[in-house]
Chain A
């Protein structure tokens, strides 16, 4: 199984300031078709996870452009350019390059 490791566990951020979350995979997420299937999901309190980013850097429909993803191979980053109150929650990276699909342990974004 591919193990996904996120850092930090918690990220206190001032409103309007940027936030950054790291995700590392135990092996390359490059698929045999040449694409890399790394997604980011947001889970607000009491809600199901919601897709933000897929294939490293593609924003899903309706996702604000303050969210961006980058990376390659085994190292990936989610950035929020200016944190808003509605961004509070837990963020997970997820790989869909191979079965079993696996998730990172999560990073909690909270307001200072």
Chain B
């Protein structure tokens, strides 16, 4: 059974860098057919996609966050990470890591976001 688990500080000061890690069990982040990514959800609001990668290929980022975001992978630990720099109170949210099913029908596509972690609340405050 695939499981994703987010970890990292629950409190980050304004202007600092938010760092989170997603540990994957029951599946390999370097395996075929899946993208892996980060999604966040501010309190009381809908989800917002941050970015996703397919191992060995380029990473896609939300243009609204691209200048501040880096997603990287560590296959030796089967983990991937999120770094978001220069945070403000607007970055306060529950951060989820997720798997996206990849399809191919002549062109590659993202079929869905089929597995999500439980999420971790990150508060930006001094």
Q: A residues touching B (Cβ–Cβ < 8 Å)?
A: 1, 31-35, 37, 39, 41, 48-51, 54-55, 60, 92, 94, 96-97, 99-106
Give the total of B residues in contact with A, Cβ under 8 Å: 28
For the residues of B in contact with A, the DSSP-based class is: strand
| Residues of chain B whose beta carbon lies under 8 Å from any beta carbon of chain A | 46-49, 52, 60-64, 96, 100-101, 103, 105-107, 109-119
CA distance A85 to B105 in the complex (A): 39
Report the minimal beta-carbon distance from B95 to chain A, rounded to whole angstroms: 11
Partner of A48, one of B49, B96, B107: B96
Kindly identify which residue among B49, B107, B110 contacts A32, using a CB–CB cutoff of 8 Å.
B107
List of A residues within 8 angstroms of B115 by Cβ: 51
Q: How far is the CB of A69 from chain B (nearest CB, A)?
A: 12
CB pair B49 A103 closer than 8 Å: yes
Inter-chain contact A99/B60, CB cutoff 8 Å: yes
Report the Cα distance A51→B115, complex, angstroms.
Answer: 7
